[in-house]
Amino acid sequence: METYTGIPEELRLAVLERIKPTAPEREKLLEIQEELASEVKAAAEKLGISGVLVKMVGSAARDTWLSGTHDIDVFISFPEETPRKDLETLGMAIAREVAKLAEHAEDRHAEHPYLNIIYKGFDVDLVPCFRVASASRIKSAVDRTPFHNDFIKPRIKGCEDEVLLLKQFMRGGGVYGSELRTQGFSGYLTELLVIHYGSFENTVNAACFWKQGEKIDIMQHTEIEHVEPLVVVDPTDPRRNVAAALSLDKFCMFIDHCRELLKSPELSFFFPAALLPLQDREILKRLESRKSAQFAIVFKTPDVVEDVLYPQLYKMEQAVAALLSEYNFSVIKTGVWSGKNETVIMLELISGTLPNVKKHIGPPVWVKVHAEKFKEKYKGADDVFGGYVENGKYVFEIRRKYPMAKGLLEDRIMSCSLGKQVHQSVNEGFELIENTGICRLKDPDFRVFLRKWM
Amino acid sequence: METYTGIPEELRLAVLERIKPTAPEREKLLEIQEELASEVKAAAEKLGISGVLVKMVGSAARDTWLSGTHDIDVFISFPEETPRKDLETLGMAIAREVAKLAEHAEDRHAEHPYLNIIYKGFDVDLVPCFRVASASRIKSAVDRTPFHNDFIKPRIKGCEDEVLLLKQFMRGGGVYGSELRTQGFSGYLTELLVIHYGSFENTVNAACFWKQGEKIDIMQHTEIEHVEPLVVVDPTDPRRNVAAALSLDKFCMFIDHCRELLKSPELSFFFPAALLPLQDREILKRLESRKSAQFAIVFKTPDVVEDVLYPQLYKMEQAVAALLSEYNFSVIKTGVWSGKNETVIMLELISGTLPNVKKHIGPPVWVKVHAEKFKEKYKGADDVFGGYVENGKYVFEIRRKYPMAKGLLEDRIMSCSLGKQVHQSVNEGFELIENTGICRLKDPDFRVFLRKWM
């Protein structure tokens, strides 16, 4: 329909100017990486731990990091035959030794424990891992990372700018980041796309035509079927889909973002204008214009990491929508926002009230036993308006238990299947806000969320 | 579950006492039948028409008529070889000659024209028909009737009371009458049931266990499959289902009525208490209690016979419900009432209003051409609230064209598929009444309808 223009060189340059690390920035990072490597070695020596190697991995090690990010991944690698328990205790001992020099340190946990520190302003992960002979022999998910590094580094040489452009473009489209909150594209995935398609522009061109189930297998080394929307076979492990964390919607949003870029290549696709918090009067105006029913379930944000919190919030979002549907409320959409203090599940309904009368359809009259039981139960019972036969079935007009969504939520929210920490927090107390009451929530970030919401 | 008691003799007697024609009543009927037979013969003679025979058919001729009814069916039968045109002109000429003695006469039309007259207070149909050799050779539907008479008369002898009981019981359940308005059981069908099952009580006992597609073939002379809920093969014509006009709901209502009678055999199943018209204050109270949205579409009753009118009204009822559903209004139920002057289509909805915002779901993003066209159409268009991707599909929040059921009906009712006369009448003008406005409709018969409705 449209004539696709290419991506103008000026645009590429304008983007790169903003996102490509400057020479001093890179020197600084290298310096810090080297310092960390020596510190790890010194710590191992001091603790009398032998056989330890240090490996810098991640985008910092591959020159595919965006200016302004300060993430360094330091892998502390142990011989393959090291017992799992030793890896954890000795690895963490070394990490803690290094952490003595850090501004801040925090224990984290993936498959194994690792240490996250702030070191001279850099966000550093110190991750113990096994030094296995090949990616197919990994003992823990993190053991894969050094192999990723080995695969990417030689192949991305000369294409680093392409990766930077793609990452920034994905950021602009809200699809960058493979954490459970975003469910988007990981850095490694971005690099693989550039290696596969050759450039940022080629990736964008190709993605416009992606279909659900799109498969990319650079090494052509698997026939395994995956169910995810995008399948990018890990070149270092044929069984693994690098895009497994990518949700269907983020996959589609990326396709959409690519098509839009090609229609009118503009800087805003990389750097969207920041949205302003929605003002009270705008909220009121939009509520009046939409005339739907808005509900906000507000509770204290549980004190857990995002990768634990967000799956629970998404689960709650689904469960609450299912509860409302079960009681005949029509859900238009649901949303999640979580801030430092408060978390909000947003619900937009066709209406927050339903009539008292509810049509309850029973079995066909000729299914004798069931039909008679059904009739027995409702005929002449309290709170039954009437009964009749329709399409061969008994129908009773009964009194709806929850004619108000508010009452239903107040009564039954705790019966929803909620994750552990969210359940705990909601159980301690929650607030149900309707329509104009939403103006009570002042957090500017929530108000930005609201601008997209309504 | 329950212990079924039989039907007490006292109950049978009490019912029969009210419905069985008295001796003077029967004598009077016989006398009128004989008079009519002579008048038809005299008329034929006077007009010089030969080969004409008179046949009394229907319940009057078979002693299965309910006290108080004054229906007589006189068939004027012509030789099989009579040309169709002659049958009509000569048959009607004879009928008109007889009608000279009547209080009132009216031309009616089934497959052929016939004459309905009021003669000495009796409602008499004078029907020309062909005298064919067997029911399989009939030229017109009415030709079958004399065969029905021949089949029933000898077999019903001694069981007339059973037929009377069954007919009255069906009346009490609102399922008696095979006209297009009622879609219930015909008199002939009732007689066949009694012949098949042997008695009223046996019929009731059996019907409690009827299933959809129940088949009764007294002569065991067909393998033809029918789709109707009840199949009673015509003993005089294996291709015909005598219960073809019976609707699924009337079939079920009869089953239900039978089960209830056996649970507590009472006179009220034969003679239900007359319902009182619903008073204004009762209407208001019930509306308040149900809290649903009630709509009445009121228009002038078209001046056509019920068999033409009701199918059109039922069609309109369906069409209007479909229109509302198409525009996302949730219909609880629909109903039809028609009086001498006004006709009402009643609609009960979950709500008469919907939000302005409407969720419009498009194609999956990866179906490129369709998805792009869809987005092109809605993105940034007037009256679009916003757009997003959900479950892999584009979704736009558009402005609902009809947020009020009233506006939708006012605008689009004429685009519904309506029958000819109803279309004409609605086109001349209709009124849309909402909720408490219904009190405007004062017809006592409508108010009785309302009592069952709400």
What is the domain-level CATH number for residue B288? 3.30.70.590
With tokens 């990372």, the residue in question is A145
3-state SS, residue B24: helix
**Distance, CA of B421 to CA of B423 (rounded, Å):** 5
Give B365's contacts in chain A (Cβ within 8 Å): 252-253, 255-256
Q: DSSP letter string over A151-167? A: HHHHHHTT-HHHHHHHH
Q: Residue A250 domain-assigned?
A: yes
Are residues B189 and B129 located together in one domain of the fold?
no
Biggest CA pair distance of chain B: 86
Q: What is the 3-state secondary structure (H, E, C) of B175-225?
A: CECCCCCCCCECHHHHHHHHHHHCCHHHHHHHHCCCCCCEEECCCCCCCCC
Chain B: nearest CA to A286, how far in angstroms? 9
Interhelix angle B84-99/B23-47, nearest 10 degrees: 120
Name the residue facing A365 among B256, B386, B393 (closest C-beta).
Answer: B256
Q: Residue A6 domain-assigned?
A: no
Q: Tell me, what's the pLDDT at A287? A: 97
Chain B: nearest CA to A233, how far in angstroms? 21
Contact B229 A333 (CB under 8 A): no
Q: Closest Cα to residue B245, out of B167, B183, B310, B193? A: B183
A290 CB within 8 Å of a chain B CB:
yes
Alpha carbon A386 to chain centroid, angstroms:
49
Q: Tell me, what's the pLDDT at B41? A: 96
Name the residue facing B366 among A255, A386, A454 (closest C-beta).
Answer: A255
Q: Closest Cα to residue B319, out of B417, B414, B431? A: B417
A227 CB within 8 Å of a chain B CB:
no
Query: Looking at the predicted structure, is the pLDDT value of residue A3 above 80?
Result: no
CA distances to A159, B125, B129, B234 from B112, rounded to whole Å, are 90, 13, 9, 22
Give A359's contacts in chain B (Cβ within 8 Å): 332-333
**Distance, CA of B148 to CA of A339 (rounded, Å):** 82
Which B positions 176-205 lie with beta carbon below 8 A of chain A?
none
Contact B1 A390 (CB under 8 A): no
Q: Residue A381 domain-assigned?
A: yes
Are residues B316 and B365 located together in one domain of the fold?
no
B386, containing H or E segment: strand B384-390
Q: Which two tokens stand for residue A270?
A: 């990389």
CA distances to B115, B139, B243, B285 from B110, rounded to whole Å, are 10, 13, 18, 46
Q: Residue B210 domain-assigned?
A: yes
Name the residue facing A357 among B290, B357, B385 (closest C-beta).
Answer: B290
- The residue of chain A with its CA nearest to that of B359 is A332
Chain B: nearest CA to A277, how far in angstroms? 17
Are residues A423 and A299 located together in one domain of the fold?
yes
Are residues B110 and B197 located together in one domain of the fold?
no
Name the residue facing B255 among A292, A293, A366 (closest C-beta).
Answer: A366
Q: Residue B118 domain-assigned?
A: yes
Contact B391 A248 (CB under 8 A): yes
Give B260's contacts in chain A (Cβ within 8 Å): none
Are residues B363 and B391 located together in one domain of the fold?
yes
Residue in B208, B248, B282, B384 to test binding to A, most A beta-carbons within 10 Å:
B248
| Mean model confidence pLDDT for chain A | 95
Chain A: nearest CA to B258, how far in angstroms? 12
B210 CB within 8 Å of a chain A CB:
yes
CA distances to A166, B31, B40, B53 from B61, rounded to whole Å, are 93, 12, 16, 16
Q: What share of chain B is helix, strand, coil (3-state, %, to 5)?
A: 45, 25, 30
Q: Helices marked H in B20-68 — which ranges?
A: 23-47, 58-62
Task: Say which CATH number the domain at A38 has.
Answer: 3.30.460.10
- The residue of chain B with its CA nearest to that of A354 is B350
Out of A204, A234, A269, pick the residue that ends a domain. A269
Are residues A194 and A114 located together in one domain of the fold?
no
Name the residue facing B212 among A212, A354, A392 (closest C-beta).
Answer: A392
Name the residue facing B211 among A1, A292, A366 (closest C-beta).
Answer: A366
Contact B249 A364 (CB under 8 A): no
Give B317's contacts in chain A (Cβ within 8 Å): none
Asked if residues B212 and A392 have their Cβ atoms less than 8 Å apart, the reply is yes
Interhelix angle A23-46/A84-99, nearest 10 degrees: 120
Query: Looking at the predicted structure, is the pLDDT value of residue A416 above 70?
Result: yes
Q: Closest Cα to residue A75, out of A115, A122, A120, A28? A: A115
Q: Residue B196 domain-assigned?
A: yes
Out of B138, B166, B201, pick the residue that ends a domain. B138
Which B positions 334-353 lie with beta carbon below 8 A of chain A?
348, 350-351, 353
Q: Closest Cα to residue B384, out of B373, B395, B368? A: B395
Q: Tell me, what's the pLDDT at A73? A: 94
10-residue mean pLDDT profile of chain B (454 residues): values are: 71 97 94 96 95 93 92 94 92 95 90 92 94 86 90 95 98 96 97 98 97 96 91 94 97 98 96 97 97 98 94 97 98 97 98 97 96 94 92 96 97 94 97 97 97 96
A97, containing H or E segment: helix A84-99
Q: Closest Cα to residue A344, out of A356, A352, A353, A335? A: A335
3-state SS, residue B329: coil
Are residues B284 and B417 located together in one domain of the fold?
yes
Residues with Cβ within 8 Å of A229's Cβ and at least 6 positions away in sequence, in order, are: A212, A213, A214, A243, A246, A247, A248, A251, A252, B392
Chains A, B: CB contacts under 8 A, how many? Answer: 129
Are residues B394 and B442 located together in one domain of the fold?
no
Q: Residue B284 domain-assigned?
A: yes
Are residues B165 and B69 located together in one domain of the fold?
no
B59 is in an annotated binding site: yes
Give A350's contacts in chain B (Cβ within 8 Å): 354-355
Q: Closest Cα to residue A327, out of A405, A441, A247, A275? A: A405
**Distance, CA of B162 to CA of B152 (rounded, Å):** 13
B227 CB within 8 Å of a chain A CB:
no
Are residues A318 and A297 located together in one domain of the fold?
yes
Asked if residues A91 and A128 have their Cβ atoms less than 8 Å apart, the reply is yes
Task: Say which CATH number the domain at B258 has.
Answer: 1.10.1410.30
Contact B290 A355 (CB under 8 A): yes
Contact B390 A333 (CB under 8 A): yes
For A304, the domain range is 280-353+403-453
A212 CB within 8 Å of a chain B CB:
yes
Q: Tell me, what's the pLDDT at A136? A: 79
A125 is in an annotated binding site: yes
Which A positions 356-415 lie with beta carbon below 8 A of chain B?
356-357, 359, 364-366, 368-369, 372-373, 375-376, 385-386, 389-394, 397, 403
CA distances to A228, A381, A415, B435, B436 from B287, rounded to whole Å, are 51, 20, 33, 7, 7
Chain A: nearest CA to B391, how far in angstroms? 6
**A443-453: per-residue pLDDT in tens?**
999 999 999 99
- The residue of chain A with its CA nearest to that of B367 is A211
Q: Residue B99 domain-assigned?
A: yes
CA distances to A62, A100, A346, B227 from A40, rounded to whole Å, are 20, 11, 47, 83
Chain B: nearest CA to A252, how far in angstroms? 6
Q: Which two tokens stand for residue A186?
A: 């990981």
| Cα B379-B380-B386 angle, rounded to 5 deg | 75
Are residues A190 and A220 located together in one domain of the fold?
yes
A368 is in an annotated binding site: no
Residues in chain B: 454
Out of A105, A120, A143, pick the residue that ends a domain. A143
Task: Say which CATH number the domain at B383 has.
Answer: 3.30.70
A176 is in an annotated binding site: yes
Q: DSSP letter string over B231-273? A: EEEETTEEEEETTTT--HHHHHHHHHHHHHHHHS--GGGTSPP
Dihedral pair phi/psi, residue B53, rounded to 5°: -120, 155
Q: Tell me, what's the pLDDT at A1? A: 44
Q: What is the 3-state secondary structure (H, E, C) of A386-437?
A: EEEEECCEEEEEEECCCCEHHHHHHHHHHHCCCCHHHHHHHHHCEEEEEHHH
Are residues A260 and A389 located together in one domain of the fold?
no
Chain B: nearest CA to A101, how far in angstroms? 46
Q: Closest Cα to residue A356, out of B454, B190, B5? A: B454
Chain B: nearest CA to A334, how far in angstroms? 11
Sign of the CA dihedral running B161, B164, B166, B169: negative
Q: Closest Cα to residue B40, out of B152, B107, B119? A: B119
Q: Tell me, what's the pLDDT at A2? A: 46
Q: How many domains does chain A have?
A: 4
Sort residue A9 into left (φ over 0), alpha (ψ -120 to 50) or beta. alpha
Q: Which two tokens stand for residue A327?
A: 């009681």
Q: Closest Cα to residue B78, out of B46, B116, B105, B40? A: B40
Q: Tell me, what's the pLDDT at B1? A: 43
E-state strands within B235-379: 237-241, 293-300, 331-338, 342-349, 357-364
